[in-house]
Chains A and B, each alone.
Chain A
């Protein structure tokens, strides 16, 4: 599935949150969206998911504007993990993940074997196999995050939009989710766009990186080029440098904890 958008602009009231945003992904590509807080990552993802109507520009899947699709059609192609979703308290993990099948069963059809299998697979892939009957209100933040990822996976869409999928997870699950995303893209050709704050994870998992600053797309290219551009230090106002650890791996950003010396002084 090809996902693309051109000169996308989004305004909230009078504030421009996204300006002339371009993106073009080929099938199976992993794209990381990075940028400081409030730079427009979530806005971009929500617009790609068809949840925000852009003031200008449009989003296309396989050259079809998403505005011309029904919600369900769109949900069969594209699954979206919001940054901080909320669910009804009394809902269980299994019930949440089951909602991911709505795009397939619709309002009337009953759940079939393939639906149950997708649910099971989604639960297992996120390490939630024993949690299906727990209610969401009694989960830890990371467990809840995985339940939502699981719901998005159950949708079995060819495009995955993930807004900070790893933000509440311990390092073990962060890697597990990233591995899963990687496998989905390489084995099933799933196209992924995700916002992520850990630069090194972004560099190592993605094929391309988009860097946003105050709603402007200021970089779009391969991880290696981002390292060479010197933009990271400027945009995030930190000092550090990229070091090549392994010959074929993307460079590793080593940040100087300059602010710590200021604190102890």
Chain B
């Protein structure tokens, strides 16, 4: 349902008095977290709770020929040692495929490996003891005999006929392939004045959440009910899958998700060790806790990226881009991850390349292959950094080739701001984007011309600075098109239930979840604004399948846009219900009344008529005084899902200003700018910090983060000393600006903002490094951009 803005309800949240919308208000959960009263899964202690440690494979690929847990079972504090075969009695294996990703295949994966391990880090046995330390001691005494098998590690040779096939039943190591051909690509290249090609390499990296993955599973045999306390982004998804594989009804599984120390997409998947923990609780009939340690986090939290992508662009001398072509290859580990699958990232790359630009000529191939490395799957800004880096590097290379300024070539090719609605060459539908407005704002914020002048002056003094620009689009507010149509039980709708309590405060239950984004805050802001009560009167409850409406949770930048709209609509109903009762009490009509500042007031003169606390008192304790036939309903529920557009695309542009030390290959980031358009901004500070955090993760990928595997499939830097996360010392100031094009699909008009920063940061940095290296006539196309890579490109080593 699309509404023109002028037809909006008189209650439009955007123009109500005392609205919190568009204001920076502190998060309601700040005090709790700052005073150490947060409740993370690792804080949970239950009676008779045991701790599980997983013994993990030291080999990338091996047959398990024997497991001897006898000595370990005799160790102090040990409750059980459980193998894959034993746990299979209570939990079934799964296959991570979705029907709308045609041809995607994968093999059955078990909670604990049975007979064979397929990556270094896969669990081979569970040791359950009275403490984590006791379980770790015992794990050293479990003897596992392995027979090593050939490990498939290089994605470039994974499809060679001479390479062994990881899952023989699948026939080959190809998990998924997608081909796309739009427009007239060959003719367009033929008609181009210049055609530029390059190969781009993206390192494997991971999310590194501050709090590792953790779960406490508590099977209550008396109730025949499993309670799962877990730091997850999608409680209802976990409920569905745990029930499915443990042979339970969903009503027998409750998932509770209190505070979560960061997710970034890492915690939206179903991991084998978490499934094993649920199963162990059922098997042992007691609560079992699993908290991943840092080493196993590196070895088992999903990895992401790891692409090699060949790209080609055609351009005319006047700057017109004629066509894009890509050939992308990615390796995903031995299994497609469950239930979202590991084909989504490559699929997104195909979807997004060339997305900001007007050309309709686009050809793409993406291949996804199996390897004996840790599983790969969706992490913040799935596919976006790859697509954005490939696209934006190609655009810069084309500009360089024809001698055009990088800003100018973008001005000539970005889809015009008045061309919407329209579709991308890969068929994505855009409702309203603002590439040109965003670029214009960015140029102004960074004072582009002055920077160019400074760059020239410094270059004469042998100081090499570069400017990199990257326009991007971002997928947000996904509808059922993302997963639901493929058969996954992952809800794309969200719900909010509100009720007025007996003192006129509001209890709000929402199905979106909070991992630090500010879901709690934005929900309270919307409810408070639309209802007319102060935020401190709104208590938001989330993360509990027993106590919230059914919904998707928080991922794919959907919390504000989808959960926020559900909150808005539910609040409108509650408000109407309140005004109906108020009218009856006050012998007025609902139309003459409004709620402002916790009181019912006259619309005409704003005079207070009755406080909400008084209204609630009457409704709950003296309903006998209400006129006959009036039954108050001070509870309201609404759900929302986008129907018209499969995704609410957002857009933006980033710029990086940096210096390359051409003697050492070190890059110093000097400044970063982002202009983004997420539609209605509910809380500017939350949006800005989402953007900054996202940028920092993108800068990590650009310069630092990489999971380094050796040729035998051993992850060689699984610790915080050798895996370099971006730290504040190296981060530049990040200025954030906004253009606002609300989506008309919802009354709120909010799109997502969670992944925009990550989408374009690496592309901006790579372009800036190449801009700095211009006098040396060399380019780099591999991230992370290490000093080693830059020195090599410069021919210094």
Partners in one complex: no
Interfacial residues, chain B to chain A (CB-CB below 8 A):
none
Interfacial residues, chain A to chain B (CB-CB below 8 A):
none
